[in-house]
Chains A and B, each alone.
Chain A
Amino acid sequence: MTLLVADSISISFGGVKAVNQVSFAVKQGELFSIMGPNGAGKTTVLNLISRFYDVDEGNLTFEGEDITQVKTHQVATKGIARTFQNTELFEHETVLSNLLIAHQQHKNTGLFSEMFFLPKVKRQELSFRRRAEDIIDLLDLQGYRDQMISSLPFGIRKVTELARALSLEPKLLLLDEPSSGLNPEETEDLSFWIEDIKEELGITIIMVEHDMNLLSQVSDRVLVMADGSELTTGTPEEATSHPDVIKAYLGD
């Protein structure tokens, strides 16, 4: 089953076509990667899917529904979560609170009952906390759960951001260069977690990534972009051995 379809999407900034007529379809349960040299428009594609930008032309369908008019804050409710290359976290909160804030937005209780912490609110809060703890266990964050984000090293922040995205219980997870800034050991942990997220939680993933090892290890298919356009799409082996791709990375 197809989860997300991008149908010749384009966007320009000033005179530059950052993304030019790019099309792809991501199947349910698939790990779809996007690679390409700097400035190829990979992150822009993620920003288009997550409704940070409006597409100039083309269509985006998620679960058969057009999402080009969805508001940025509704993306999470639709079942799309994302992470950022340089992490965007709530700095003055603990790891646990960062996850709980994400859960909080799915409450369906009223202002009054929340202020006075009535039983219904308490039940929801308990189930949120249980799920947050599950995610903390999954990603090995137990040692950091009560630490402030601002005191954490970059690698742990990246994992925390991944945890927060998971706590939104997404159907589609967008990862923007998850390995950037991580050391080789952390990158290896990451590759296992990504496989767990895909296999055990059944979450479909679109990942922008530079690390070739990580890419070929976890990806089902890879879209290669250069200068805003698609060069090729295929299995990691097909994509990396494609003559146009080699040319784009190494020059003529």
Chain B
Amino acid sequence: MTVGQSVPRVDALDKVIGRAKYTDDLCDKNAYIAKILHSTIANGIVKSIDVSEAVKIPGVVKIITCFDVPKFYFPTAGHPWSTDPAHQDVQDRLLLTDRIRFYGDDVAAVIAETEVAAKQAVEAIKVEYEEYPFVLDAQEAMKPEAPQLHEAYPNNILGHSAIRRGNYEEAIKEPGLIKFEAWYETPTVQHCHIENHICYASMEGNRITVVSSTQIPHIIRRIVGQALGIPWGDVRIIKPYIGGGFGNKQDSLYEPLCAYLTTQVGGRPVKIDVTREETFVCNRVRHAIRSHIISWVRPDGSFAARKLECFSNQGAYASHGHGIAAKGMNAFPQLYPVDNVECDSYTVFTNRPVAGAMRGYGIPQAMFAVESQTDDIAIALGIDPVEYRRKNVMPVGYVDGFSKNENYFDSFNQCLDKGEKYLDFNRKFKEYQNQTGPIRKGVGCSVFWYNTAVWPISLETSACRMILNQDGSIQVQLAETEIGQGADTAFAQMTADALGIPFNKVHVISAQDTDITPFGLSAFASRQTYVGGFAIKQTALLLKERILKYANELTRMPAFELDLVEGQIIRKGDGRVMISLADLALEALYSLSHAEHMTSESTYQIKSNAYSFGCCFAEVEVDIPLCKVKLLDIINVHDAGMLINPALAEAQVHGGMSMGIGYALSEQLLFDPKTGKTLNDNLLDYKLSTFMDHPHLEAQFVENYEPTSAFGTKSLGEPPVCPVAPAIRNAILNATGVAINNIPMTPHILFDRFKEEGLI
């Protein structure tokens, strides 16, 4: 068995020695380079474009402006398509646009022989704009007098959803209730994957091939088809290794434009290699969400009624849209069940960079708000924050009516036990209360809610193909993508065990090619190990059936008395090895009496989902006069079901914790209130946390076998980022007595809050 073992990654060697090929490694060195002209206004229209100087620059091949492109409005979100128009993503993008909706919108593209010529030409294009007033704040954008971004969405409201359960107004009349009310604010952050988005496109015959750094090749094929108004089968997408995505590449970025540009130069390869500045401004960002929570709490800490309002800043285009705010809202009454609850979430267009999917998909925002208030309530009532959570969090046996997710195990308490013990939380929490002096320590904790994959909100399906080679090894292919998280290795482990062959006999075809790879939905929603597991198990069993049927011919033993174990066909009765799979495969492929190419291929449609829970505990040291927080220690504990590869699982948690640390303490995109321009579109001014900002990152697990899953596993990709920021916030509260309701908790914020509270 290799499932459950920390086998080395199947791509480790290639990646370490630099042999692994990424998009730019594969691109023809003679490809044309395309550079995009981005708007320098935040709202308005393009009145005219003068390219007369730009086309004179040596090396410029062609300039395409917003007035040249076809007007097929397309959606960009990397969601499964819906054949029901009511459930389709909003189609509001064009390849290039004359209706500018944010500072950085795509106005024109230069195709040139070199990057320098392309850049010079972009500088030389003159654009005449008509400027409109713009709005950057979600709640401001909802006011009647605010500038309107999209005609179909009055008051800029892209989506509004609500929950009404029980009777809030009646419930709050209960005598003796204590009211807690606060606003919590989370920032716009960016994924900061190390490889910026890059793609190149070329033509053969009437078909367009796009090689792209994407998470979602099959979805990109559909979107390129939609954007260009061509049959989807005329598009071929290839996805090689990619340098991270974190949700930004769960969106169509510049693949449609690149595909269009190659059609304008006779199908010659055209490359769009996005800069870091463009990644920050012109790709996708995380939704900034402002949440307002009112809780009516009994003296014993139980909730009589709760109200949540949240306002999610969508930026200029719909992308993943309201799904993010809605997910956060839906988690609210599940994490701490309450009989009387009113929730409203709004997703609002503003003239800011477009928000899309990002690791956690609304839950890091929601957890910051919810888990900050959890501590405020516990502390006000004099209850230990861990005990408070144990008493009020989702109980064992809880079933969500919509997803049918069930809390089968006592995961929360098991995770809290481990976190509490690691950090010696109880002792430290008491010891650190009521400190004086300039340097103070504190501990904090947070739990989180998550689920796995997207069922029942949308389609969940996975398809797999396996092919047997002469030596008994196999190729395995899935549409689920390797994006750095180690998916290929987990798939190889599951395949080896499900089929009954050694791990080193499994060759994962890492790259997806929509002409060849079975159809599927790819990497998002922490789904791949869960959904891929079904398709792998089912396909492996089909292949095994074929193998054993063939073995029957060779061994004269009935197939049902045979099994495939570690690459050997054995007789079940006595365990005797009848023939090796290698010998069988050789015979099957070269037999003069019965030759057979052994493959299997199948689709599994998943109609289940699974809760994935855990917690974070953090210890900080706050230097009050310097307004600085030093993270001393941090642990995440997860119940992600059974771990396929513990070392990879730990690495996932480390990455998520790191992202959470930056979210809590330093990362934030800033916008110029006068122009709408993004101020810090680079990795110097955008304070991604570094190795020197991290203490040891401790990752621990509780492994409860997930009963709905093919391998007992469930989501782990996104969950690690979800509980980190509130745990750090609560640690600062323990250290200083100051509750901070805005992240990131930078020195700027701490300076203001410490002054307000009289600490400095």
Q: Are A and B physically bound partners? A: no
Residues of B within 8 A of A (CB): none
